[in-house]
Amino acid sequence: MSAGDVFVIPCLSDNYTYLVRCHETGTTAIVDPGEAGPVISALEDRGWTLDIVINTHHHNDHIGGNGELITKYNAKLIGPRAETARIPGMDQKVAEGDTVMIGKLSGQVFDVPGHTSGHIAFYFPAVSALFSGDSLFALGCGRLFEGTPDQMWQSLQKFRDLPGETLVYCGHEYTQSNARFAATIETGNVALKARCAEIDDLRARGIPTIPSRLDKELATNPFLRADHASVASDLGMESATATEIFAEIRGRKDRF
Catalytic residue among 58, 61, 111, 119: 61
Check if 23 is active-site: no
d(CA 162, CA 172): 21
Task: Decide if 59 is catalytic.
Answer: yes
134 is catalytic: yes
Is 98 tagged catalytic?
no
Q: Which of 57, 91, 161, 200 is catalytic?
A: 57
Q: Which of 32, 51, 58, 62 is catalytic?
A: 62
Active site residue 58: no
Q: CB under 8 Å, gap of 24 or more: what pairs does 74-77 form?
A: 75/30, 75/50, 75/51, 76/51, 76/52, 77/52, 77/53
Is residue 172 part of the annotated active site? The answer reads yes
Question: 59, 200, 215, 234: which is the annotated catalytic residue?
Answer: 59
Under the phi-then-psi rule, with left for phi > 0, alpha for psi from -120 to 50, and beta for the rest, what region is 67?
alpha
Active site residue 57: yes
Looking at the annotation, which residues are catalytic? 57, 59, 61-62, 115, 134, 172
